[in-house]
Amino acid sequence: MSVLARFGLTRRINAAGTLTRLGGRPMAPEVASAMAEAAGLSLDIASLQQVASDRIAATLGSEAAMVTTGAAAALTLAAAACLAGDDFARMAALPFADAFPNEILLPRTHRTMYSHALAAAGARLVDLGHNDRGTGAGVRGLEPWEIDAAITPRTAAFAFTATPETIASLPAIAAHCRARGLPVIVDAAAQLPPRENLRRLVAMGADLVCFSGGKAIGGPQASGILAGRADLVGSALAQQLDMDIRAEAWTPPPLLRPIIKGAAPPHGIGRGFKAGKEEIIGLLVALERFASADEAAETAALEARLRAIAARLDGLNSVRATLSHSGRAPVLVVALEPPTRAASAVAALLSQDPPVHVGERRVAEGVLLVDPQSLQPEDDTTLAAAIRAACASG
What's the average model confidence in pLDDT over 75-84?
Answer: 98
Q: Residue 47 pLDDT more than 70? A: yes
Vertex 52: Cα angle to 87 and 114 (nearest 5): 65
**Domain presence at residue 33:** no
Is there a single domain that holds both residue 344 and residue 389? Answer: yes
Is there a single domain that holds both residue 264 and residue 321? Answer: no
Q: Residue 91 pLDDT more than 90? A: yes
**Domain presence at residue 32:** no
Assign 330 to helix, strand or coil.
coil
Is there a single domain that holds both residue 302 and residue 367? Answer: yes
**Domain presence at residue 328:** yes
What's the average model confidence in pLDDT over 37-44?
Answer: 96
Nearest to 11 by CA among 347, 385, 359, 376: 376
Predicted local confidence at residue 245, as pLDDT: 85
Mean pLDDT of the chain, nearest integer? 95
Predicted local confidence at residue 204, as pLDDT: 98
Predicted local confidence at residue 264, as pLDDT: 79
**Domain presence at residue 31:** no
Q: Show which of 262, 292, 322 is a domain's final residue.
A: 292
Nearest to 102 by CA among 122, 78, 129: 122
Nearest to 76 by CA among 126, 125, 118, 123: 118
Query: What's the pLDDT tens digit per position in 94-103?
Result: 999 999 999 9
Q: Give the structural domain span for 357.
A: 3-20+294-393
Q: Show which of 292, 325, 351 is a domain's final residue.
A: 292
Is there a single domain that holds both residue 330 and residue 272? Answer: no
What's the CA gap between 338 and 357, in Å, rounded? 21
Q: Show which of 244, 277, 292 is a domain's final residue.
A: 292
What's the average model confidence in pLDDT over 331-357?
Answer: 96
Predicted local confidence at residue 316, as pLDDT: 92
**Domain presence at residue 302:** yes
Assign 316 to helix, strand or coil.
coil
DSSP string, 356-371: EEEB-TTGGGTEEEEB
CA 368 to chain centre: 23
**Domain presence at residue 204:** yes
Is there a single domain that holds both residue 188 and residue 336? Answer: no
What's the average model confidence in pLDDT over 93-112?
Answer: 95
**Domain presence at residue 95:** yes
Helix (H) or strand (E) run with residue 76 in it? helix 71-84
Q: Residue 232 pLDDT more than 90? A: yes
With a pLDDT cut of 70, the percent of the chain lying above it is: 99
pLDDT band at 146 (very low <50, low <70, confident <90, very high): very high
Q: Are β-strands 224-228 and 64-68 bridged in parallel, bridged antiparallel, or unpaired?
A: antiparallel
**Domain presence at residue 36:** no
Predicted local confidence at residue 394, as pLDDT: 61
Is there a single domain that holds both residue 103 and residue 251? Answer: yes
Is there a single domain that holds both residue 246 and residue 313? Answer: no
Is there a single domain that holds both residue 9 and residue 80? Answer: no
Name the residue with higher pLDDT: 378 or 250. 378
Q: Are 173 and 147 in contact (CB under 8 A)?
A: yes
Predicted local confidence at residue 265, as pLDDT: 77
Q: Is the peptide bond before 252 cis (omega within 30 degrees of 0)?
A: no
What's the CA gap between 303 and 330, in Å, rounded? 6
CA 107 to chain centre: 19
Is there a single domain that holds both residue 286 and residue 347? Answer: no
Which CATH number belongs to the domain containing residue 10 in this structure? 3.90.1150.180
What's the CA gap between 75 and 211, in Å, rounded? 9
What's the CA gap between 161 and 191, in Å, rounded? 10
The strand order across the sheet containing 208-212 reads 64-68, 224-228, 208-212, 184-187, 155-161, 103-107, 124-128
For helices 295-311 and 380-393, angle between their N-to-C axes, nearest 10 degrees: 40
Q: Are β-strands 224-228 and 319-324 bridged in parallel, bridged antiparallel, or unpaired?
A: unpaired
- The reported pTM is 0.95
Is there a single domain that holds both residue 279 and residue 134? Answer: yes
Q: Residue 136 pLDDT more than 80? A: no
Q: Residue 135 pLDDT more than 90? A: no
Is there a single domain that holds both residue 277 and residue 145? Answer: yes
Is there a single domain that holds both residue 165 and residue 83? Answer: yes
Total domains present in the chain: 2
Predicted local confidence at residue 327, as pLDDT: 63
Phi first, then psi, for residue 125 (nearest 5°) are -85, 130
Task: Measure the CA dihedral 176/179/185/189, to 10°.
Answer: 50
Which CATH number belongs to the domain containing residue 252 in this structure? 3.40.640.10
